[in-house]
Chain A
Amino acid sequence: MGRILGLFILSLLWLPLPATADDMETLPFSNLSFPEPETHYSATQECVEPEEEMRKNHMNYILHQRDKTVHEGIRTRQHSLEECVNCHTAKDEQGEYIPVNAQDQFCSSCHTYASVSIDCFQCHATKPERSSTLHKVSGGAVHHSDQALTSNTLQIPAAEGKDK
């Protein structure tokens, strides 16, 4: 019994474990592929933070932002979950949005592999509904619906890059 256990533990060492997040694409067992967003955040940067940073720490940005938004009313767009959805939702052949948390879509492609279930979209909208204010910064093409905010004021310019 002890020997079998030892052999089992030893065999686990053969499993290639990621040393850094960059190794993810070369792992066996994973057919990681996900729809790339059509727009980039800026000319020099694909996402609101560098890719490696997002892969490692996106949950921290989300958790930090949610507390600031809910409790303090800070609605900056840099780390807004709604903006994530605005960029990362793909469209099907008919031009309809696919829910961002659907199988094989952006979130699930990593989360299914990592076996980390998320409950964000129990409450949060899975499809874009109003204009992104991030596109002003990125300079990229508009990739969302044109429906304006229902309040009568103009959209406030996002205080980009000032999040603490």
Chain B
Amino acid sequence: MSENSKPVDPSRREFVVKASAATSAAAIAPGVFLTAPASARPADQPVTGDKRWGILVDTNKCADNCNDCVTACETENGWGDSEPNSAPEQRTQWIRTVEIKNKSTGYAKTLPLMCQHCETAPCVDVCPTGASFRRDDGIVLVDKHICIGCRYCMMACPYKARSFIHEDLHDQKPWAPRGKGTVESCTMCVHRVDEGGTPACVEACSAENHNALIFGDLYDENSEISRELQKHDSVELRGDLGLNTGVRYRGI
């Protein structure tokens, strides 16, 4: 399987030169590359632990009855209407809005709940094959190639973030493969993040000017998310479990 002895295709070399020129030219285009080059990683470089991706949810900015983040995730990753044969309890949900009401005071609030991308994720610990894993940059994923569908990670998740696919699927998005008999959860739109983008939920929330979701590199002191976390208090859900989640909440 050695490829080292192949001659380099001259048209390929020419392409790389042209593409680099084109890319640098495009970098001048306003708005497109302002933040991307710093976080866009070359496609053939592995992710490293230099970054840790996280999301800050400002629940004070979450409107009741708003489902923009959920809808955006459904469209992006293709799980919205993909399981017609499954009962409602069997249908996938990568992110959901949760209405909470304080039993003593009556204070009520809505907030989105998705995979918390814990540093010491219980789902990663319990997976017998290692299919549930944490990438070096903090995103917790399921390698569906080696998932055997035992659902132990679903038993272990303190946030009920994981879903099992109960039927044959069709028309999956190429950037979000998903199939029967495996477990899945929010990927923090890893396909977008790897190309310097932001998760669909965050993008949708900002597009509608709610700005309740902030995405960024938790290890970068100067990123927007880090500055916000330093300015105002935030909590992890079920913080007593000590999981050091990548998703933090303000306002609860």
Would B195 and A149 count as touching, CB distance under 8 A? yes
Contacts A154-B32, A157-B16; A123 near B182 (Cβ below 8 A): yes
Q: Which residue of A lies closest to B76 (CB)?
A: A150
A159 touching B135, Cβ below 8 Å: no
Kindly provide the distance from the CB of B248 to the nearest chain A CB, expressed in whole angstroms: 23
A24 interface residue (CB < 8 Å to B) = no
A3 contacts B by Cβ under 8 Å: no
* Binding site secondary structure of chain B: loop
Size of the chain A interface, CB-CB below 8 angstroms? 49
In chain A, residues 50-77, which have Cβ atoms closer than 8 Å to a Cβ of chain B?
Answer: 57, 60-61, 66-68, 70-77
Query: Quick one: which of A76, A129, A150 has the most chain B CB within 10 A?
Result: A150
Instruction: Check: A98 CB closer than 8 A to any chain B CB.
Output: no
Closest to A121 in B: B179
Interface residues on B, range: 35 or more
Cβ of B9 under 8 Å from chain A: yes
The interface residues of chain A, by DSSP majority, are classed as: loop
Taken together as a complex, chains A and B put the C-alpha atoms of A72 and B192 apart, in Å, by: 14
Whether the pair A154, B26 counts as a contact (CB closer than 8 A) is yes
- Identify the stretch in B100-108, B109-117, B141-149 within 8 Å (CB) of chain A at 4 or more residues: B141-149
Neighbouring B residues of A74 by C-beta, 8 Å: 43-46
Which segment of A5-13, A14-22, A37-45, A108-116 sits at the interface?
A37-45
Using known A-B contacts A73-B190, A137-B12, determine if residue A66 contacts B174 with beta carbons closer than 8 Å.
no
Q: CB distance A75 to B194 under 8 Å?
A: yes
Which of B33-41, B61-69, B90-98, B155-163 lies at the binding interface?
Answer: B33-41
Instruction: Tell me the number of A-to-B contacts counted with CB atoms below 8 Å.
Output: 130
Q: Mark A122-162, 1 if CB is under 8 A from B, else 0.
A: 11110111100000110100000000011111111111111
CB within 8 Å of B: which residues of A?
A: 42-45, 49, 57, 60-61, 66-68, 70-77, 82, 85, 119, 122-125, 127-130, 136-137, 139, 149-164
Could you list some 25 contacts between A and B, CB below 8 A?
A45-B9, A60-B1, A71-B133, A72-B46, A73-B135, A73-B137, A74-B45, A74-B46, A75-B191, A119-B179, A122-B180, A124-B174, A125-B177, A129-B173, A136-B19, A137-B15, A150-B192, A150-B200, A152-B32, A152-B203, A154-B23, A156-B43, A158-B43, A162-B44, A163-B3
User: Which residues in B have some Cβ–Cβ distance to A below 8 Å?
Assistant: 1, 3, 6, 8-9, 11-12, 15-16, 19-20, 22-23, 26, 32-33, 36, 40-47, 76, 133, 135-137, 141, 143-145, 168-169, 171-175, 177-182, 190-192, 194-198, 200, 203
